[in-house]
Amino acid sequence: MSLRSFLLHGSMALVLAACSTATEQPLSRPEALPMEELSLDNLDAFTAADPGWRVAGNVYASRQQPHYLEAAEGKGILVFTGAKSNTALGTTWKHRDMDLELDFMLSAGANAAILFQGKYPLQLKDSWLKDSLVAGDCGSVAGQPPLLNACKAPGLWQHLEVKFKAARSGHPQDSATAAGFAEVILNGRPLHLEPALAAAAQDIALRQAPAAGPLQFLVQQGPVAFRNIRYKTYGDARIQLADMQFRVYEGVFKNHDTLKLLMPVRTGRTDSLTYRVGDKRAHLVLEGKLQVPATGDYIFTVQSGGPVRLMIDSNQVANNGGTRNFLDVYYGDTTLQQGEHFFQLSYANYDESLVLRYEGPHIPFTALTTPASERPVEPSPAMEYPVKGMPVVQRGFMQHQGEVNPYSIAVGIPGNINYAYGLVNYSPLMAWHGRFIDVAEMWHERGEKQLAKPLGATLELAGVPCIAELSSADAAWPAAIREDSSSYTNRGYKLLPGGLPVFFYTLHQWAVEDYLHPREDGKGLVREVTITNQEPGSGNAWWLLGSGGIIEKLPDGSYAIDDKRYYIETTADVQIQHNKDEYRLVLPLQPGNKTVNIHYSIIW
């Protein structure tokens, strides 16, 4: 073959390879290994229990009556309704490092704790609406109160996520490192900025790390309930790297297979996995062996400032699709046998950032790349928008159900109650107690994201249109309104003398005025809606008060919405509808009525 033919053949190969990869997109992969679930069909997963512990199928706790909780027969919920205080229930298994997720419910005035390794408590207490938090309030660990009050009302399910690190002993002459709560998240809000350390006095005296211990549920004042208890326990085994080499190529390539046609400009051996062994604006290949400690499923993540691909045993495991956004994380999963596996990490170094992490059987997410290989990001400074003597209103973008809503308005009200309203679907997006919003991403530098971030634990609402004309009661509810919809007409909003907005819009002949304000007791929001039928005698419409999972009418007359995620109180003649997997609390609008006034409270 002549040199000209060889070059032409090589150019064609490059073009074909580039074309074949241009459409390659990263696949959607699991982002974590599944957690183990603690069976609550009975009490077999626990050691001998006080008679006050039982399993139930449903529970109801009054938010007005202290220490009152009813439990219905069934399974799936762990309940303590006994009279004794300081009653603990421990698992039959023991743990050291672990991740824990669960839902808990407190009766009014209840106080309980979860003891990690049987000795390190995380406090669960009815701290609803408490302004000043102290050690012992809900979410406290290691004698440290939480940063904010994320506690919901008694009788509602609350979601808790914890990462616990067991103590470690070093040299025999050294004292043990204290156990730590690396992460505590209550109802979606982190409660501690730094890992909170805790050490039992006897462990300090013995200068040793405590042995593995059970997970315990301690009730100091009940009743309380738990469900959806899921966990991961971790050991000390990790993947080890061996026989690592690198190759550096001139240029950067989105198609990693292009490198097969090129000669490296530099090669060598390395004892660490980092982009720093390569060059800026050059392509780097790192390869070697993974010493895998246990057979099982593994999740790998890549994060880089340029195209990156991870191969294990010649199979592609993760690929970022060629992006240069070094903040985006891409996932891949594979099953590995215990022992030695060949890996190759190919990286086009545009922006000097390369991170490879993995999770495996009883192994938490761990970085294989060095810390110096990750590009540090300076966080935006907090810019709190304070609420003082009058309500404040801020237009902007807000995160709602995992997506950015660009047509939202945040309303902050004195008395630590706030909400956000969607100006396309004409409905509340979320509500929260506490401080108002952080506007740093609206104003810092170029303010590209335009995001306003609530400073409290948010109650996310459905955000769907609240009025709809349906062919029948069980017809599908509209999920959204197009911005250019001719059926719904936005007529804007006005500020009342007190500073709160009233929203106006129409659906065909139905003219709506929507006004939200705090309850007199400060425990939620009141929604006052006035609907005028401009063509009395025609139309068949419904008003949606709440939707989601199971809706129950409670003994106190209120409604628990979306499987006891929040309450609605109303005296209106409402109906509970069930359509496929969704429940709806609705009020039919009678076509003969010219004006309908709807009044209800949202409590969480």
CATH number reported for the structural domain that contains residue 314 in this entry: 2.60.120.1560
Contacts of 178 (CB under 8 A, 6+ apart): 167, 197, 198, 199
Nearest Cα to 251, choosing from 276, 277, 282, 275? Answer: 282
Beta strands in 81-198 (DSSP E): 87-95, 97-106, 111-116, 120-125, 158-165, 179-186, 189-190, 196-198
| Residue 443 DSSP symbol | H
| Residue 478 DSSP symbol | P
Residues 258, 176 share a domain: no
The pLDDT assigned to 176 comes to: 60
The pLDDT assigned to 83 comes to: 85
CB-CB contact of 404 with 398 (8 Å): yes
Nearest Cα to 426, choosing from 503, 363, 495, 479? Answer: 503
374 in a structural domain: no
Residues 66, 25 share a domain: no
- Distance CA(352)–CA(375), nearest Å, equals 7
The pLDDT assigned to 15 comes to: 36
Residues 192, 72 share a domain: yes
Residue 410 tokens, joined: 């945040």
Contacts of 551 (CB under 8 A, 6+ apart): 559, 560, 561, 562, 576, 583, 584, 585
What pTM was estimated for this model as a whole?
0.91
- Distance CA(409)–CA(405), nearest Å, equals 10
Measured CA to CA in angstroms, residue 19 lies from 255, 284, 299, 319 at distances of: 9, 21, 29, 17
150 in a structural domain: yes
CB-CB contact of 570 with 601 (8 Å): yes
372 in a structural domain: no
Annotate 560-575 with three-state secondary structure.
EECCCCEEEEECCCCE
Residues of the chain with pLDDT under 70: 1-27, 170-176, 199-209, 485, 537-539
The pLDDT assigned to 12 comes to: 36
- Distance CA(321)–CA(325), nearest Å, equals 11
Which of 209, 234, 259 is where one domain is finished? 234
Nearest Cα to 312, choosing from 294, 336, 293? Answer: 336
451 in a structural domain: yes
Residue 460 tokens, joined: 């996310």
The pLDDT assigned to 8 comes to: 36
CB-CB contact of 276 with 318 (8 Å): no
Backbone CA torsion sign across 281, 287, 291, 293:
positive
171 in a structural domain: yes
- Distance CA(253)–CA(273), nearest Å, equals 20
> Domain holding 527: CATH number?
2.70.98
The residue whose two tokens read 């409290």 is: 456
Residues 548, 438 share a domain: yes
**Tens-digit pLDDT profile for residues 255-297:** 999 999 999 999 999 999 999 999 999 999 999 999 999 999 9
Residue 354 tokens, joined: 């390369």
| Residue 195 DSSP symbol | P
Residue 276 tokens, joined: 């720093």
Residues 196, 77 share a domain: yes
The pLDDT assigned to 311 comes to: 98
Residues 355, 255 share a domain: yes
Residues 285, 413 share a domain: no
- Distance CA(552)–CA(561), nearest Å, equals 7
108 forms beta bridges with 66
Q: Is 492 helix (H, G, I), strand (E, B) or coil?
A: strand
| Residue 201 DSSP symbol | H
- Looking from the CA of 391 toward its CB, the CA atoms found within 13 Å total 22
CB-CB contact of 284 with 275 (8 Å): yes
CB-CB contact of 496 with 504 (8 Å): no
Which of 366, 401, 434 is where one domain is finished? 366
Please tell me the total number of residues recorded for the chain in this structure: 604
The pLDDT assigned to 475 comes to: 87
524 forms beta bridges with 603
550 in a structural domain: yes
376 in a structural domain: no
Residues 65, 13 share a domain: no
158 in a structural domain: yes
327 forms beta bridges with none
> Domain holding 58: CATH number?
2.60.120.560
CB-CB contact of 345 with 308 (8 Å): yes
Say if residue 223 is preceded by a cis peptide, omega within 30 of 0: yes
Residues 397, 310 share a domain: no
Residues 415, 560 share a domain: yes
Residues 212, 348 share a domain: no
**Tens-digit pLDDT profile for residues 207-246:** 566 789 999 999 999 899 999 999 999 999 999 999 999 9
Find the domain containing 411 and state its range. 384-603
Alpha carbon 5 to its chain's center: 57
Which of 184, 210, 234 is where one domain is finished? 234
Backbone CA torsion sign across 18, 19, 21, 22:
positive
37, containing H or E segment:
strand 36-37
Position 145, amino acid: P
441, containing H or E segment:
helix 440-443
Nearest Cα to 422, choosing from 477, 467, 485, 464? Answer: 464
Residues 229, 242 share a domain: no
Residue 445 tokens, joined: 């530098």
Q: Is 555 helix (H, G, I), strand (E, B) or coil?
A: coil
Nearest Cα to 419, choosing from 494, 513, 517, 497? Answer: 517
CB-CB contact of 50 with 89 (8 Å): yes
Number of structural domains the chain divides into: 3
| Residue 12 DSSP symbol | H
